Amino acid sequence: MINVIGFDADDTLWHNENLFLQTQDKFKQLLLGYHDEQWIDQRLYETEIKNLEHFGYGVKGFTLSMIETAIELTEGRIVGSEIQEIIDYARDMIDAPIEVLDHVKETLKDLSGSHTLMVITKGDLLDQETKVARSGLGDFFQHVEVVSTKTTETYQAVFKKYDIQANDFVMVGNSLKSDILPVLQCGAQAIHVPYETTWAHEEVTEKDLWNQGYLKVEHIGQLPELLKTLPTSK
């Protein structure tokens, strides 16, 4: 029987990817005198992927990647005030108001009466903790786990830490790669709530998804009804 529900945070509980996209737009405007937008996007993405193993997910790594990309694409001609502008983007992102997605608050309120709710999210530790607090949703969650990656091993470690049986757990999130596939591989259940955009690095192919048997809702408000239909054991 499902008694613990894990929620991804960014783009599941609140808007996030659009904040990165808005920042990336500003970044492209800054460099538009040097290169066209598509080329800037492509080089930034490559730098981000290269830096993931060093800097991990989150605003700080993204910012360092923007700075590196700017230096590379301007062949070092970028000036100090422009780099400062990029660092200011980072502070703006970290301070940006949290826009909780539709249906989230009432759904969490509903489910928190009957289930243990927890957040399992990637990103910078301090930034994610602050976002949970500022979202006004913190009281619905018994645990907040900020993790550096979301693999099968990550979820197994979380299950062990909180003494959770895979059979009792369902994960809810917008990323098939991070929130759904590794959870199914642990023998737990997973419910996909698509967000309007997905970062290229989080995309998975149809082949990865074939016959995986995860569930899907259009928005998080459909969660309580869906949970009632789940079999009590797998």
Applying CB under 8 A, the residues found at the interface with a copy of itself are 54-56, 60-61, 63-64, 67-68, 70-71, 74-81, 83-84, 87, 90-91, 94-95, 124-127, 129, 143, 146-149, 161
Nearer CB in complex with a copy of itself: 1/79: 79
Look at residue 149 and give its three-state secondary structure: coil
Provide the minimum distance between the beta carbon of 38 and a copy of itself in the complex, in angstroms, as a whole number.
22
Residue entry with tokens 């929620």: 7
Nearer CB in complex with a copy of itself: 12/47: 47
Secondary structure letter of residue 168 according to DSSP: G
Nearer CB in complex with a copy of itself: 94/230: 94
Nearer CB in complex with a copy of itself: 75/218: 75
Order of strands, sheet of 215-216, starting from the edge strand that comes earlier in the sequence: 143-147, 116-122, 4-7, 169-173, 189-192, 215-216
Nearer CB in complex with a copy of itself: 71/200: 71
Judge contact between 33 and 40, C-beta under 8 A. Answer: no
Look at residue 144 and give its three-state secondary structure: strand
Distance between CA atoms of 185 and 214, rounded to whole angstroms?
11
Look at residue 217 and give its three-state secondary structure: coil
Distance between CA atoms of 151 and 11, rounded to whole angstroms?
18
Provide the minimum distance between the beta carbon of 56 and a copy of itself in the complex, in angstroms, as a whole number.
4
Provide the minimum distance between the beta carbon of 64 and a copy of itself in the complex, in angstroms, as a whole number.
6
Provide the minimum distance between the beta carbon of 26 and a copy of itself in the complex, in angstroms, as a whole number.
17
Residue entry with tokens 């993931």: 52
Provide the minimum distance between the beta carbon of 107 and a copy of itself in the complex, in angstroms, as a whole number.
25
Judge contact between 170 and 190, C-beta under 8 A. Answer: yes
